[in-house]
Every structure is written in C-alpha cells, then in structure tokens.
Amino acid sequence: MARATTERAAPAPVAAAKRGAPTGRRKRWGLIALGVVVAAAVILLGYIVYGTHVLAVRTITVRGATIVSISDVTAAAQVPLGTPLARVDVGAVKRRVEALPRVASAQVRRGWPHDLVIVVHEYTPAAVTLIGGQWQLVDPSGVAFMPAGHTTTLPQVQGSSDAARAACIVVARSLPTSVSRYVTMVRATRPDQVELVLTPSGFVKWGDTSQPKAKAQVLVPLLNLPAKIYDVSVPSAPTVTR
C-alpha cells in the first residue's frame, strides 16, 4: 500500500510547473501593455505641451519696469501670444530684453500654465556725463546707458573709464553742501585721481574715494583763500597753489 501511494504522488511537481507557465506569460504581457500605455501617455503629453495651444502663452507679465516701458520690453521679447509656453527660448528672450539700453539685466521664466514672466533690473541714474557732445545718464557703476534728454539735477561727472566715473559718483555723493555748492563737475583720469572743478575757476585734487569727511573739513576753510589748485588728497597735509 505504501508503494502505491508513492507512485500516485510522483507526477505532482510536473503538474505544478504546467500550471505556473501561463501565469509567467500573463505577467510579461501585462508589463508590455503597461509600457505601451506609459509611452503613449508621454507622447500625448509631449504633443499637448509642445504642439498645441492648450499650454500656450496668453499673457506676458513684466515686472520692475519704471524707466523702460512695458511695451518696449514685450516688443523686445518677440514672443507672440499663442506660442506654446514650453517652446519659448527663455535664454534668447533674456538676451533680447537685456539689449534694451535702459535694462541692466533681466530674468525670464515660465509661469505655467499660460504666463511668461519677465523681471527687468534697470540702470539707476546717478549722474550725467558728456559723451560725443551729448549728455548721457550714468549708473552708479559708471556705465553711461541713455541720453539725459532733459535738464537734470544729477551731478556732472567726467571720466576716462567706467571705473573712473564710478569713483567720481562716490565722491560727488559724499560732498557736504558746504563743498558741493562750489563744484560744477567731478572728473577723473583714474579712480584714485578724482578732481573737483570749481566755480568760477580752479579745481580741487581730491585723490581717491577714501576719507571724504576729513577732506571736506580741510577743504572748507581753504576755499576762502584765492587759489587755482587746492590739494586735499592727503587731508593731513593739504596744499594750495595760487
């Protein structure tokens, strides 16, 4: 009896293997079907994003524009409404906007689902300078960026470089009223060789941008002396040339 029982149980492993084969095939076909669905979904999403107007530019938002007009910024951006937002070359838009003479820098980003956002940082007028017979506005770093266009109360500076003009602006801003009322222009051939042009004549050798208070304190009484050159570049040892 024991031997008969053993002979009947022997085919069981073979039967189990046959039952497992269809299950493995079903899993493989299931994975293939899932892959096809995912690929189709990705293709459809890409088409919607890049090839249709579902996620297109409907508005262009400009921020930070006070001197430059919003219309100038949007014109420079060259992005027609209806352009798929994903296809907008934000780097190219940034370069075109920064080419505007009044714009120092710009940031461009996509504001999903329909907005293109442009943030501009404008040059800030700090002085005026004469270039080619025309007065130009100058920013604090000494960069001349656009015609002044009208009478301005900004300091007049003259420099051989952006750095020299920037030094002139620093000095002009540091002058107390007791000195600035005599100054018609601040000029420099180098950042450490700033001079103040006085009215009606004469000038002050100011030197670099350091020690503005000490230099001003020394200069005020010296201006009571008739002279052509007042040198306060070393405030502890001022000189006067008549």
Residue 114 amino acid letter: H
pLDDT at residue number 195: 98
Mean pLDDT of 152-160: 92
Q: What is the pLDDT of residues 118-130, one digit of tens each?
A: 999 999 999 999 9
From start to end of 123-207, where are the E strands? Answer: 127-131, 134-138, 144-147, 157-159, 183-188, 194-198, 203-207
Report the domain count for the chain: 2
Q: What is the pLDDT of residues 6-62, one digit of tens each?
A: 445 555 554 444 555 567 777 777 677 666 666 655 554 554 445 556 789 999 999
Task: Provide the percentage of residues in the chain whose pLDDT is more than 90.
Answer: 69
Asked if residue 4 belongs to a domain, the reply is no
Alpha-carbon distances of 119 from 116, 125, 129, 216, rounded to whole Å: 10, 19, 28, 41
Q: Which of 93, 122, 151 is the last residue of a domain?
A: 122
Same structural domain, 117 and 148 = no
Asked if residue 3 belongs to a domain, the reply is no
List, in sequence order, every residue forming a beta bridge with 198; answer none if it has no partner.
183
Angle between helices 162-174 and 212-222 (to 10 degrees): 70
Q: What is the pLDDT of residues 86-134, one digit of tens each?
A: 999 999 999 999 999 889 999 999 999 999 999 999 999 999 999 988 9
In angstroms, the CA 149 to CA 135 distance is: 8
pLDDT at residue number 196: 98
Q: Which of 122, 151, 181 is the last residue of a domain?
A: 122
**CA triple 139-144-150, angle to 5 deg:** 90
Q: Which of 77, 106, 122 is the last residue of a domain?
A: 122
Instruction: Tokens for 54, please give them.
Output: 């579902």
Residue 131 amino acid letter: I
In angstroms, the CA 113 to CA 55 distance is: 5
Q: Which domain holds residue 60?
A: 27-122
Same structural domain, 79 and 139 = no
Asked if residue 58 belongs to a domain, the reply is yes
Asked if residue 205 belongs to a domain, the reply is yes
In sequence order, which residues have a C-beta less than 8 Å from that of residue 71 and are 6 or more positions away?
none
Q: What is the pLDDT of residues 162-210, one digit of tens each?
A: 999 999 999 999 999 999 999 999 999 999 999 999 998 999 999 999 9
Asked if residue 56 belongs to a domain, the reply is yes
The b/e string for 93-131 (b: 16+ C-beta within 10 A; e otherwise) is: bbebbeebebbeebebeeeeeeebebbbebbebbbbbee
At 113, which CATH number?
3.10.20.310
In angstroms, the CA 88 to CA 116 distance is: 9
At 167, which CATH number?
3.40.50.11690
Q: Which residue has the tokens 């505007």?
A: 100
Asked if residue 16 belongs to a domain, the reply is no
In angstroms, the CA 78 to CA 58 distance is: 14
Q: Which residue has the tokens 């602006």?
A: 169
Alpha-carbon distances of 156 from 49, 187, 227, 230, rounded to whole Å: 53, 8, 23, 20
Q: Which residue has the tokens 């996509």?
A: 110
Same structural domain, 68 and 95 = yes
Same structural domain, 113 and 200 = no
Same structural domain, 159 and 192 = yes
DSSP label at 85?
G
pLDDT at residue number 183: 96
